[in-house]
Structure 1
Amino acid sequence: MNTRHFRPCFFLTVLLAATILSSQPAYADISQKEREETYKQLEIFSNVLSILQNNYVEEIDTKEVLSGAIKGLLLSLDPHSSYLPPEDLRELQEETQGAFSGIGIEVTIKDDLLTVVSPIADTPADKAGLKANDIIIEIDGVKTKNMGAYEAIKKLRGKPGTSVTIAIHRKGWEELQQINIKRDLIPLQSVNFKDLSPGFIYSRITNFQSNTATDYKAGLAKAKKEQPLKGVILDLRNNPGGLLHQAVNVADIFLSEGIIVYTKGRIADQDTVFSAHPNNPANNFPLVLLVNEGSASAAEIVAGAIQAHKRGIIIGSQTFGKGSVQTIIPLPDGAGLRMTTAKYYTPDGKSIQALGITPDVEVPVIACIEPESGDDNKTRVKEADLANHLPSSQSDGEAEPEEHKELDQLLNQDNQLRTAYNILKSLSLFSSFREESAR
C-alpha cells in the first residue's frame, strides 16, 4: 500500500506526542529509551488509524474513534482511570457539589465486571435493595461487558421520574434478577443526626461532598448545645466515598494530633501527608464507627484514621478496599483525564487498596424477622405475667413515649447498630468511672 496515505496522520500524531512528552518531566522522568519506544508505538497506532480511514467498509468518524482509543487506553490501566468527555466532566463536578439525578449508586470495574461499590443511603438504588458487590450484567438490555464505569454511570443517570432496568447477579443467586428503578434527584444533604437516648447521638454520612465536614460540625454543635454528649455513633455503611479533603476534615473533628492519611505515588509530587489539628476537648466523647462492604474510599480513610489512633471502635464488616487517589486533569476541549496517581495509607502504614479496613468488632448482618402476628406476645412470658409481680411506677393508662418506640424499632431492625449502641453505652460508663477515679 502506498505509504503516502500514512504520512499526514503520522506527522500529526508525532507532533502531538512530542508536545505531550516534552511536558512529562512535570509528572515523571522518562528515559530516552522509553521515549523511543513511545514514538514507535505511536507510529503503529497512526498506521492503523490511516488504514481504517482509507479502507474500512464505511467512512469512520475520526473524532469518535480517537475518543474510543483514549477510553480504551485508560481502561487498560485500572478501573478508576478514565477519559471524561466534556458532559461527563460537568456531571462529575455537579456530583461533588451534591446535585445530580440518577439512581444513587457508585460502581467500579472489579475482575472485569461492572460491580456495585455501594448504593447511597436513602436513594432509589438503596430502596430497590441493591447491595455492595452486586454485579450489573445489563443496563436497559445493553451488556456491560467492556463498558467503563463512567459509561455505565451515564446510562444509569437521567431525568427524575424516568426508569432504568438493570440485570443483577448476586452471590448465591442462580438466576439474574431484573430490577426496574425510577430515577430521582439525589439529595444534596449527606449528613444527618438522630437522638438515640439522652446524650447518645446517631450520625450518618452517606457520601463526602463539598460541604460534608461543615454540615457535620454544625450538626455536632447543635447536639452538644441541646445536651452534654455521652457518646456518638458515626455510620459510614454504604458510603462510597467522595472528596478526599472532606474525609480528612471529618476525621480531624475527632483527632487532635497525628497523621490522618498519607498518599504515595510513583513520583514525589504525588506524595502528601494530611495531619490533624488540636481540637476542643469537648470532642473527646466516646466514639463508635459503623462500616460494611459498601464503605469505600473516603469512608475508609476516616475509619482507618480513627482505628489507627485508637480514637474509637470500628464495628461491622470488612470494607470495600478502594484505596487509590484519582487526579482530574482538564483538557483543552473541556474534557478531563481522570487518572490514578497514588495510593492511600492509614497512619500506621497500612494500604487500603484491595484490602479495606478490618473492624475491631466484626458483626455480620442478621435479618430482622418480624412476628407473623400479635400472637408472639401471648407465647412470650414477661414479668407482668407473673403472679404477685411488683407494679410499675408508671400508671396503667400511661403509654410508652413515642421516641422510645422509634428507638426500639430502629435497634430491633439493625443488629449492627444495636451492637454499636451497646458498646457505646459501655464506653461512656467506663469513661465516667475513669473520670470519677481521677478526682
Structure 2
Amino acid sequence: MLKKAFAITAVAALLSAVFFLAPLLDKDERARRSEAEYVSMFKEVVDIVKESYVDKVDDKKLMTGAINGMLAALDPHSTYMPVTEYSEMKVHMAGAFGGVGIELDMRNGKLMVNAPIEDTPAFRAGILAGDHIFQIDGKPTKDLPINECVSRMRGTPGTQVTLTIVREGTAKPLTFRLTRAIIKTKSLKARLLEPGYGYVRIAEFQERTGEDFDKALKTLAADNGAPLSGLILDLRYNPGGLVDQAYRVADRFIGEGLTNGDIVTTKGRDAKSVQTLTATIGEKEPKYPMVVLINGGSASASEIVAGALQDHKRAVVMGTQSFGKGSVQSVMTLNNGDGLKLTTARYYTPSGRSIQAKGITPDIVVEFAKPAAAKKETEPEIREQDLDGHMQGAQESKPAPETKPAVPETKPAAPPKPAHPTLLPKVNGAGKEPSEQELLQKDNQLARALELIKGVNVLKKGLLR
C-alpha cells in the first residue's frame, strides 16, 4: 500500500514538474507550432476564397494583397513594390534618367506640363508650363495613369518621342518631335539672399545631393567673392531620402575640433546591428552663423541633419515641429525583381535622442504666416504619430555604438505630402523665380532666419554696447 501511495505521489510530482517546466522547455516548440498553425490557417482561408468568392480570384492579386496586409500590420513605412514601382523609385533616387525633361501633373484627367526642366530637350523645344500633352506618339493620354505617361516619354537617350500639345491661345495642336537625352534632376537650389548670406534649399536627399551640396557651397562663396557670413539651410517639406547623403551634408559642418563627431546612430533589433556614423577629418565649412529651417513636412533624413546640427550646437533650428519619422527602411530586391522596403532600425541623434513619433523641436518656434486666401484651405499637418500603426519611440538613451566607417545603403520612406502648397521656389522648373526681396516678403520664416544670422554677426563684431 505504501509502495502504491509512494508511486502515485511520485507520478504526481513528476507531472507537476513537467507542467511547471513545460513553458520553459517547450517555448521554441510552441512558437513553431503556433507559426505552423497560422500558416495552415492562411492556406485554408486562401482555399476558401478561391473556391467560394463571388468572382474568380486572380492569384497574383490575392497574394500581393496578402503581402501588403502583412507589411501594413508592421508599420506605415514597410511596403511591397511591384517591379514597375520599384524601378521608378530607383530612377527617382538616382536623379538621372533618359527622357525629355518635363515636370508633369494630371488635372481632371488631362496630362499637364508643370514646367520644363532647364537645359533639356523639352525646354529647348519651347514647351511651356500649362501645356496640355494631348498625345504621346499619336496615342491619347486622357485618363491614363500618370506613371504610364511617364514611362512612354522616358526611354533610351538618342531615341525620339513625339508630343502633341494643346496650348491655350493656339488654334491648332502643336507637334514636338523630341530626342531623348540624359535628364539630371536637382535635389537642391542655392542662391545669395544678400551679399554674404547664402540660402540652400534641399527638397530631397538623392544619390547626388551630397556632391551637389558641396558644389553649391563653393559656388555661393565664389559668387560672394569672399567666404560666406552666414547660411540658411532649408529642409522644410523635405521628406527624407538617402541616409548616406544626409550624413554627407551634416559632415560639412561637424567634426573639426570636436571630441564627439557623431552624426547619427542606427540601432536594429540587436546590439550587433548598431552603427554610428561619425564625421570625417578634412575640409569643413567656416564657423559662420547658420539656421536650419524645418516644419511638419521635414522627415527622416532631413531630421537626421537638423538633429545633428542642433545637438552639436552648430546651427539654430527654426520653424515648427518636424514630422517625427525616426526609423530607417532597407530596400531589398526580391527574386522576381519586385522590391521590399522594410523597417530595419531606429536612428538616434548624437545626444542619443530618438525622434520617432516625436520629431525635432525647433530652438526658435516660428509659424509660417500664410496669405489670407490660403488660411481657409489649410488642413492640420499630419505627422508620424498620427499614422495608423506607427512605431513607438525608443527610450532616449544612447546605445553603445559600434563605430563603422561604412554608410548603410538605406532609403527612408517619405511622409505624406504637405496639406497646403508652399511658397518656396521650385527646385526644378524653368519658370521665373521670385527675386530675393520677393522671397523674403512672402516667407516670414526665411526672413526671420536671415535677421537672426545678421544679428549674431552684429554681436560678434561688438557693435552693440
Report the TM-score when normalising by structure 2.
Answer: 0.60
* Counterpart residue number, 2:57: 60
* Counterpart residue number, 1:192: 189
Distance 1:338 1:319, change over 3 A: same
1:180-239 Cα offsets, whole Å, 9 max, x none, are xxxxxx971011111111111111111100000100001111222332211111111111
Distance 1:222 1:343, change over 3 A: same
**Residue from 277, 288, 307 that aligns with 1:304:** 307
d(CA) in 1 for partners of 2:115, 2:253 = 28
5 Å-filtered alignment, 1:240-389, equals 240-256=239-255, 257=258, 258-280=261-283, 282-367=285-370
Sequence identity of aligned pairs in percent? 41
- What amino acid is the match of 2:341? R
Residue 427 of structure 1 and its aligned partner are, at CA, apart by 2.1
5 Å-filtered alignment, 1:124-273, equals 157-159=147-149, 188-225=185-222, 226-256=225-255, 257=258, 258-273=261-276
**Residue from 440, 443, 457 that aligns with 1:411:** 440
Are 2:63 and 1:34 equivalent residues in the alignment? Answer: no
d(CA) in 1 for partners of 2:440, 2:81 = 43
d(CA) in 2 for partners of 1:313, 1:346 = 15
SS in 2 for 1:196: strand
* Counterpart residue number, 1:84: 81
Distance 1:408 1:58, change over 3 A: closer
Residue 368 of structure 1 and its aligned partner are, at CA, apart by 5.0
- What amino acid is the match of 1:410? L
1:103-154 Cα offsets, whole Å, 9 max, x none, are 69xxxxxxxxxxxxxxxxx989xxxxxxxxxxxxxxxxxxxxxxxxxxxxx9
Residue 422 of structure 1 and its aligned partner are, at CA, apart by 0.5
SS in 1 for 2:198: strand
d(CA) in 2 for partners of 1:427, 1:95 = 39
**Residue from 32, 36, 41 that aligns with 1:44:** 41
Distance 1:337 1:367, change over 3 A: closer
Can you give the 5+ residue segments of structure 1 that lack an aligned partner in the other structure? 1-29, 105-121, 125-153, 163-185, 371-404, 435-439
Residue 97 of structure 1 and its aligned partner are, at CA, apart by 1.1
* Counterpart residue number, 2:91: 94
8 Å contact kept, 2:253–2:285: no
8 Å contact kept, 1:203–1:235: yes
Q: CA RMSD in A?
A: 3.0
Distance 1:60 1:275, change over 3 A: same
Distance 1:342 1:331, change over 3 A: same
d(CA) in 2 for partners of 1:157, 1:60 = 26
1:20-61 Cα offsets, whole Å, 9 max, x none, are xxxxxxxxxx94432221111001111111223333333322
Can you give the 5+ residue segments of structure 2 that lack an aligned partner in the other structure? 1-26, 106-113, 117-143, 153-182, 374-433
Distance 1:32 1:221, change over 3 A: farther
d(CA) in 2 for partners of 1:92, 1:301 = 21
Distance 1:40 1:369, change over 3 A: closer
Residue 425 of structure 1 and its aligned partner are, at CA, apart by 0.8
Q: Report the structure, 1 or 2, having the larger helix content.
A: 1
Between 1 and 2, higher relative CO (CA 8 Å, sep ≥ 6) is seen in 2
Residue 308 of structure 1 and its aligned partner are, at CA, apart by 0.5
Residue 86 of structure 1 and its aligned partner are, at CA, apart by 1.2
Greater displacement, 33-42 / 311-320: 33-42
Distance 1:213 1:281, change over 3 A: closer
d(CA) in 2 for partners of 1:73, 1:156 = 28
Residue 335 of structure 1 and its aligned partner are, at CA, apart by 1.0
8 Å contact kept, 1:103–1:157: no
How many positions carry a matched residue from both structures? 303
8 Å contact kept, 2:247–2:263: yes
Distance 1:240 1:103, change over 3 A: farther
SS in 2 for 1:254: coil
